[in-house]
Amino acid sequence: MRKEYAVRVVVVSGLLLMACLFFAPWYDRVYVLGYEVTRTAVEPPQGWLGVLAWLTTGALLVEVVITRISSTGLPEVAVSWVRIQLVQAAAVFLLVLVKFAATGYYAWGAWVGVVLAAVFSYSVWAAAGQPTPADWREMRPGS
C-alpha cells in the first residue's frame, strides 16, 4: 500500500471508527416501557474502553492532520512520532477487541467497529512503512 493512500485510509477509517464508537448501536435492542433502547460503545457495559479507544483515535488523527497541514510539524519528543502512532494504533485495536470480547449480545455496530479498528491499525502500520519489530531500534526522534 502506498504511503499517501495509507494516510488517507488512516483518516477515513479513523473518522468512521470514531463515529461508530459514538453513534452506532453496539448491543441488541432492549425495550423498556415500550421504548426501544440501544447502547453505543461508549456506554455501559465497559464504556470506558470505548471512550479510551475514541480518545486515542482522535489524538492519532490530530497528529496525522497536524503533520500534513503544518509547516513546522510536530514538536520533538524523546521517542519518534512513528513509534508513538504505532503504539496508539495497537492500543485502539486492543481496546476495541477487549470491549468486544468482554460483552455479548452484539448489534451491527460492534462488528463494524472491530473491522474499522483493524483497518485503522493496519493503515497506520502501512503509513509508517510497514516496520518490523527489528526496525524499532532504528526509529529515532524526528523521523
Q: How many residues does the chain have?
A: 143
d(CA 27, CA 117): 17
Q: Give the residue extent of every domain in the chain.
A: 3-131
Encode pLDDT of 76-110 as tens digits.
888 888 889 999 999 999 999 999 998 888 899 99
Run of H or E residues at 30 = strand 30-32
Q: What tens digit of pLDDT does each residue of 57-69 get?
A: 999 999 998 888 8
Tell me how far CA of residue 37 lies from CA of 33, 51, 88, in angstroms. Answer: 10, 20, 32
Considering the entire predicted model, what is its pTM?
0.86
Q: CA nearest 57: which of 121, 131, 2, 104?
A: 121
For residue 59, the Cα-to-chain-centroid distance in whole angstroms is 9
